Amino acid sequence: MPTLFTPLQVGDLLLPNRIVMAPLTRVRAGSTHIPNDMMVDYYSQRASSGLIMTECTMVDVHACAFMGEGGIYSPAHVAGWKRVTDAVHAKGGRIFMQIWHPGRAAHSLLNDGEPPVSSSSKAIRHETTGTPQGAKPYEIPRALRTEEISRYVEMFRFAATNAKQAGFDGVQIHGAHGYLIDNFLRDGVNARTDVYGGSIANRARFLLEVTDAAISVWGAGRVAVRISPLVPFNDMLDSQPETLVTYVAQEMSHRKIAFLEIRHKNHALPDEQAILATARQNFQGTLMTNGSYTHETGESTVASGKADAIVYGRPYIANPDLVERFAKQASLNEVNYDRLYGGGADGYSDYLTLA
């Protein structure tokens, strides 16, 4: 019976444990989006994780949503991230880059006047986003033309290539949380009538094309995918989430990707449990799950075979030595929510370890 401390083969990588660090966007890269000394410290501090996944990382200069997330679209970004991967590897860690385009969650004030893009011209409702001019309502995105979607696929291929040059161990494609790929996946947003809209197979086409592009760079054993079929963040909804998960899981299983991550709003909810079971049934590779897990619920989930590894977010923000704390049944540091996004090392890379 596996535990969180049982090694796990994930595609081409052998993880020493099943305690995985979630992608956590902390916006410390500044206006250049180039990783800095703080980020080198932050990631290398967490190298005992079975696998680290980076914050969402921009695949293009006009793919900004947060005023300070990392980028991977230029040689300077490659060099910056190489410092991070070298530091993580020097401590024996493994690290995937999460490659990402925000889609309709972007804003023109963050992207040199370029409007946000999406599957359809539907804005995120009832929310605002931070910009250099303060909080602003989300803009109505421009629906991508059929003939230009291939250019966005190539953005992801280019990002995957740059991530490889930067020394990462693989890439995770961000298909969750209402960003560009998710704008195509879920029918609460996707109202297209072309080959990228309508049926589930059509709505998943963009994700599969991006996945195949990343596989062409890395091989399937170094590519992962994240989806969040029930998470309502960024005004998202799908009418048939279990059917969507069935199709995506089967397609990813055929491709033999390294792992599939299911991001929950809360893993304990019955509908989220059903989604995870659907993914388990239809994906034959390594399945990871993420959504308010504790040490205890993570252990029980792995032991029961419902998932193969647990992806921890908030615990990793405040506990760089989370693996060691779980091993010793030690108490956890509390998250400093006042210093969650932006700023300096305070509340980012200054959390104390047990040592």
Per-residue pLDDT of the chain (355 residues; tens, 9 = 90+): 999 999 999 999 999 999 999 999 999 999 999 999 999 999 999 999 999 999 999 999 999 999 999 999 999 999 999 999 999 999 999 999 999 999 999 999 999 999 999 999 999 999 999 999 999 999 999 999 999 999 999 999 999 999 999 999 999 999 999 999 999 999 999 999 999 999 999 999 999 999 999 999 999 999 999 999 999 999 999 999 999 999 999 999 999 999 999 999 999 999 999 999 999 999 999 999 999 999 999 999 999 999 999 999 999 999 999 999 999 999 999 999 999 999 999 999 999 999 8
CA distance 110 to 345: 24
- φ/ψ of residue 268, rounded to 5: -80, -15
CA distance 233 to 7: 33
pLDDT of residue 70: 98
pLDDT of residue 108: 98
Could you give the angle at which helices 241-255 and 205-218 cross, rounded to 10 degrees? 20
Length of the chain: 355
- Yes or no: say if 143 and 120 are a contact pair by the CB < 8 Å rule: yes
Which ranges constitute the DSSP H helices of the chain?
37-45, 75-90, 149-165, 180-185, 200-203, 205-218, 241-255, 270-282, 295-304, 314-318, 322-327
pLDDT of residue 121: 98
- Catalytic residue numbers read 179
**Which token pair is 143?**
């629906």
pLDDT of residue 313: 97
- Yes or no: say if 141 and 117 are a contact pair by the CB < 8 Å rule: yes
- Yes or no: say if 214 and 160 are a contact pair by the CB < 8 Å rule: yes
List, as own/partner pairs, every contact residues 332-340 make where C-beta atoms lie below 8 angstroms and the sequence separation is at least 24, other chains included: 340/26
CA distance 285 to 259: 6
